[in-house]
Structure formats: C-alpha cells, structure tokens
Amino acid sequence: MASDTVLKAAASPETVQPFAELGLKVDEYARIREILGRRPTSSELAMYSVMWSEHCSYKSSKVHLRQFGEKAPYSAALLVGIGENAGVVDVGQGYAVTFKIESHNHPSFVEPYQGAATGVGGIVRDILTMGARPIAVMDPLRFGPADAPDTRRVLPGIVAGIGGYGNCLGLPNIGGEIVFHESYSGNPLVNALCVGVMKHEQIKLAKAAGPGNLVVLFGAKTGGDGIGGVSVLASETFNATGTAKRPSVQVGDPFTEKVLIECSLEIFAEDLVVGIQDLGGAGLSCATSELASAGTGGMKVALDGVPLRDPSLSPEEILMSESQERMCAIVEPKNIKRFLQICEKWDVTATVIGEVTDGDRLVITWHGEIIVDVPPRTVAHEGPIYNRPIAKPSYVEKLASIDIKVPMPESPSEVREAILKLISSPNMADKSWVTSQYDKYVQGNTIQSQPEDSGMVRIDESTNLGVAISTDANAPWSYLNPYEGAKLALAEAARNIATAGAKPLAVTNCLNFGSPEDPGVMWQFAETVRGLADGCLEMGLPVTGGNVSFYNQTASVSILPTPIVGVLGIIQDVRERTPMAFDRAGLQLFLLGETQADFAGSEWAGIHKVIGGKTPIADLHKEMKLIDLLLEGQSIFEAAHDLSQGGLASTISEMVLKNNVGAQIKISGPSAIALFSETPGRVVVAIESFNVQLLITLAHRNGIACKNIGVTGGNDLLINDTLIALPELRKAYTETFPRLFG
C-alpha cells in the first residue's frame, strides 16, 4: 500500500517534505504546490525533483539555448529539429540520418567503467528511439594532467567502459578526442556521440497519441541503480520500504541492449508503435511525462505492473530509477499481440503498464491507489526557468592584454628538439593505446576512423553514399574568448569534414561548463551559445540538438569552458574520400591558408605553461570558401589534413608517420611561427605535379592563399636544415601513452 496518496496529500498540507534534500529550491517547491493546489505526494515530489533538475530541465540554459531556434538558418535537409530525442537530416536517396552527443561526466568520475559504458548505452538508445539503426559512435574525452594519479585511475576505466559497451553492441567507434588539462582534475568529461540511419518513412517521435492506446514498458527489468544522486534516503517516507543503500551510477548490460536494439528495429519495421521513448535520465518519470506531454496529454499508468529486479523498491524509487536498457512504447490495441510476440521472440520482457487517456492528467497508481495526479507538461516541459546573473570575469581582459612569450627555436637542433617535444606531449601523442581498445570496423562499413580528421561510414552499400562526422573543441580558446572559441570549434569541425571530401550538413553540441550559479561561468556559457548560434547561422548549418552539462568543477575551480561541437557531412561516394596522409613519394605539398603568429591558447604555449593573449578571430566566410575549395578540388587531392592543435609541426608529423613516407619541407620566416602557430583556416594537401596549376587556379578563385611547401618521399622528415629520421619521430610519437598508462 502506498504510504502517501493524493487524497492524503490534500488532507495533510502541513506535512514536512524533503524537497531540499531532493535538490529543489524553496520557490520551486512552492511552485509545485501552486500547480497542484496542494502539497505533492512523495511520488510526485520524486518526479518533479528529477525532472526539474538541471540535467533534465535545462532551467539555467533555456533562455540562451533559444538562440539555436531564433537564429536557425533555413535547411531543406532538416527533418526533425531540437526537442526530440535526436535531430534528423535528409541525406538523399530516401535516407535520413540522426545524430546527437550527450555527456556522462559525473558518473564517469564516480565509477569510470560503468559511467562511461552507460553513457554510450544512453546515447545509442536516443538514436534508436528515432526509428534508426545505430551505425557508429564517437567519444570526445577530457582528463586532468596525464601523469596525475586520478587520471591514471579514471582514464583506463573510462576507455574500457566505452570499448566494452560499444564493442559488445557491434558499433564501430570512428572518432573522438583525448585532451588533458589541469582544469579537468576531478572532472573528466565523457561525451558520447551516436549516429543512426533510417528511411524517411521510418522516423519515430516521442509522443503518446490516441486515447485507448497502450503504454508498454519493454527491455530490462527495473532495479535500484542510478537513484542515489537524488537522495531517496533523505526521509522516512522514502526509505520506509526501501533497502539500505542504492548505487548512484547505473549498471549497463550491452548484451541486453543489443537484443533490445534488434527487437525494437523489428517492431519499427512492422510499424507497431505510435510513439517511443527510451528510459535514460529520470527513468520512468521522464518517459511517462514526456510521452504524455508531447501527445494528447492524458495517460494512466499502474506502477505496480513494472517488472522489477529488486522487489523491495518503493514507488518513488521505481519512478526515479535509471536502470539501463529500457524503452517505453505507445501501441494501438490491435497491434499489441504482434508487439508482444516480437518481444517474446527476442526474449525481451514486455509489460503493458497503462494507457493513453482523453484527459489532460498523468495519473499513476500503486496497487490501486492514486499516487501521482499531475499535468504532464508541468513535469516535462514547464519547469523553472532561470535567467541567472551574468558577469564578465576579470581575467578575460587581463589575459587578453598580455603579450605572450613562447620559446622560439631557430637552429636546426632547437627545431628538432621542439618538434619531438611537441609530438610526444600527451595532447599531441599517438592515441592508439586508447583507440586499439575500440572496434573501428565492425559492421564492415567504416571508411575511416581515428586518427583521420573525421570518422566516415557508408550507409548504402550499392551506391556508396556515406556520412562523415567530426567533433572538436579548443577549451583554451574558449577560456580566453568564449564567443570566438565556439565559432572556431564549429569551423574546425566543418573543416575536418571537408578535408575528407564531405559536405557539412548539420550540427550537434555538448556544452560542458562549471556551476551556473557562478556569474562568470554563465557569462562564458552565454557567450558560447551566442557564438555558436551566430556561427551556425553564417555557415548555414542547423543545430539539431545537443546537451548541456553544468557543475563541472571542484570546489570553486571550474573546468575550462568546453563546447564540444559535432558536425555531420554527406559524401556521395565514400570510395572517393580524401585520406589525411599521402602514401607515396613525388607528390607536391601545398599549404592552403595564411599563417600568422597565433600562439594564444596553442599547444606550444600550453606545453610551456603560458596562458594569455588574444585568440584568433574566426573568419567564417573564408572558412566556407576553403570548404568550397576542398570539395570542388577533391578529385585532385591525394591527401588533405587540417592544421589545428600543434600547428604545421603536428600535421606534417602525422602525415609522414601514417604510411611511413617522408617529406622535404621548405618554410620561410621564423621557424616557430611556421611550425607551431595555430592560425585557423589552414589545410595541407598533397597533389600530383601535373595538378599544381589547377590547384593554384582553384585557390585563387576562392580567395585562399596557396603555397608550395615541399615534396613527399624518403625515410626522413626534413624541414629546411632540420632532419628527423622517421623511426625517431615515430618513437617520440608512440611511446607516451604506453609509458603513462601501461
């Protein structure tokens, strides 16, 4: 019997409730009482507390995120935009592609393996609920100093969790980043991206339409994992029937999810669902309220019908449980028999727990008693909205005024040592210690993956239609100038798509910041959103969805503002893609774009602990012309590699090492500027000698600087008079991660 029903709640308004322990503010609790006209039941309080949390309600970010809609460029390709589980774009030939990126930062610090694994599982289900088959994942990661004890604790577990879950699902991991910075100490960032494909007519939405239609919970049984973070033990009411302790991090089972994926896709293929929602953050509280809110508004659910792994769970705990591998579907009665047959075939537990009603309330019962009776929109979509104080931090102007000084190697020996130091640094070094733990080629449609500029997968084996995806961020740039940092991250991700020969099409993002209660952090966030919205408008790339992760800080020390920007592009024939590295001698090397003395926020400055200066200003018009050049001239490029972190020194080192083919490079002016500056909007391309004039003509037409810097061949990297044998270069590049992590 429920300990606290709606009738009892109405009759006992003076009862003290643990709203503060559940993360609700005084005014938020008062608002809930105003909405209901009484105090909430303990189950209603549980639902509002998780759904009005920062993670679920975006209460501190909504006022800024609206810009993605207000400034959205027109896009004929956009089929489903912001507001659903993931955005969907038209890629031609009747295909639609859905992609999204989300964070699982805090769970991954507490329990690295399961935190990262369930991050992958959650984003995969978001893609699945759109009606798509998931086809690839990516994972941008950020850690504290590479040699810090806590980094050695969390990194191996996080990598193992990503690989373990993704590999078991049979999804190739085709890209991502690993970056180290002291600001991430105690706050690793684990962002997970998934991409899926379907036909246009297969798109599904999260809505509970049609009175009389059935609410079906299917997948894994509900357990007590993922509840601890909302303090269910804070009151006697909440722990009266519960167990003594609940784990705070979800526990994933990739084999259960793999079966759930195949079961769901067969259900979708027979068009058996009206609406579909996964159970991720906030569990059943989220799934029921969002489905009802987006549909006709009425739903009745019998909570005691939910299959449980732990029979001691209280109603509040069932509503808040974030047990993995669960889905909620809206099914017409005429289709329920077939729906259940398919679930039985795949050995997937499926239970009818309720129905859609013609009312406007979400009603949940427990053994016949009404324990929840709420307007669903107030739970799912009408939570508190904060326009938090914003103040530009004093450090911004102070650091911008610094004329930064970095070492400027000049002699051949100095240049040689500088290059070896750069490429052996943790941020620049070879990441194959990590990526070798991921299956890149399962399903057989991976065209390119790490360490290429972008990941690429084929989506049609007969026509070779494909998509490319890149994720990028430069947190030091965003720290110095968050507006420009966001635009520069967008430009880099789009450029990384174009170097492979794909046309940028749409954007997703994961915005990782410190506490929104800090006016300085909110200024960083507001400027970032403004910059990204302005940049997407200028480049004509719609934002299809994303995620905000706040409270990434230790005590009063926040992480650097880290907006991870993901760009998806389309390539008509993946067989024509441009690789990042040349594979033979005799090719001419050209640098596209101009080089300035841009060291603010650079790797070269970071290695020497130099902070400050003015970041580059994003010239998105020129970036778009460079993209046009890369796409127009794709047929003549034997290789193309973006210049970003580490500058020309890093780019050319990666190019010669990929296929063990050397190069002779001629640079003019100060060596440090030519090699280590990080001026954006630059690409190194390799072409046959007979295509030189054509390249020059294309570059001139697009207004892009074009300079011959050398030729491929030999067993060394020769830069002016600086000679580095490829074996020595490779040793410096590859030994860092095994040395650090074993």
Which residues are catalytic, by number?
Answer: 55, 104
Pairing of strands 350-357, 214-219: antiparallel
Q: Which distant-in-sequence residues (6+ apart) come within 8 Å of 559 by Cβ?
A: 142, 183, 184, 187, 189, 475, 512, 513, 514, 552, 553
The tokens 């995620």 sit on which residue? 547
Instruction: Copy the structure tokens of residue 730.
Output: 């490779």
User: Beta-carbon neighbour count of residue 303 at 10 Å?
Assistant: 22
- Asked whether the beta carbons of 714 and 663 are under 8 A apart, the reply is yes
Instruction: Copy the structure tokens of residue 41.
Output: 């039941």
- Asked whether the beta carbons of 520 and 393 are under 8 A apart, the reply is yes
Pairing of strands 503-512, 543-549: parallel
User: Phi, psi at residue 530, to the nearest 5°?
Assistant: -60, -45
DSSP 613: S
CA distance 312 to 222: 11
553 CB burial (10 A radius; 0-12, 13-18, 19+): middle
Q: Which distant-in-sequence residues (6+ apart) come within 8 Å of 194 by Cβ?
A: 99, 100, 120, 123, 124, 126, 127, 134, 136, 137, 138, 171
Beta-bridged to residue 455, according to DSSP, are 469
Closest to 139 (Cα-Cα) out of 186, 109, 91, 171: 171
DSSP 332: -
SS3 143: strand
Instruction: Copy the structure tokens of residue 663.
Output: 């190069």
CA distance 162 to 190: 9
CA distance 224 to 245: 9
Closest to 364 (Cα-Cα) out of 289, 279, 296, 274: 289
Buried b / exposed e along 41-70 (16+ C-beta atoms within 10 A):
bbbbbbbbbbbbbbbbbbbbbeebbebbee
| Residue 608: HSE in the Cβ half-sphere, 13 Å Cα cutoff | 17
The angle formed by the CA atoms of residues 653, 654 and 655, to the nearest 5 degrees, is 90
Q: Which distant-in-sequence residues (6+ apart) come within 8 Å of 656 by Cβ?
A: 581, 662, 663, 717, 726, 729
The angle formed by the CA atoms of residues 550, 556 and 562, to the nearest 5 degrees, is 40
Buried b / exposed e along 165-196 (16+ C-beta atoms within 10 A):
bbbbbebbbbbbbbbbbebbbbbbbbbbbbbb
User: Beta-carbon neighbour count of residue 737 at 10 Å?
Assistant: 18
CA distance 649 to 585: 19
Q: Which amino acid is at 665?
A: I
Q: Which distant-in-sequence residues (6+ apart) come within 8 Å of 565 by Cβ?
A: 471, 472, 473, 486, 489, 490, 492, 493, 507, 508, 509, 532
Secondary structure, 3-state, 194-257: EEEEEEHHHCCCCCCCCCCCEEEEEECCECCCCCHHHCHHHCHHHHCCCCCCCCCCCCCCHHHH
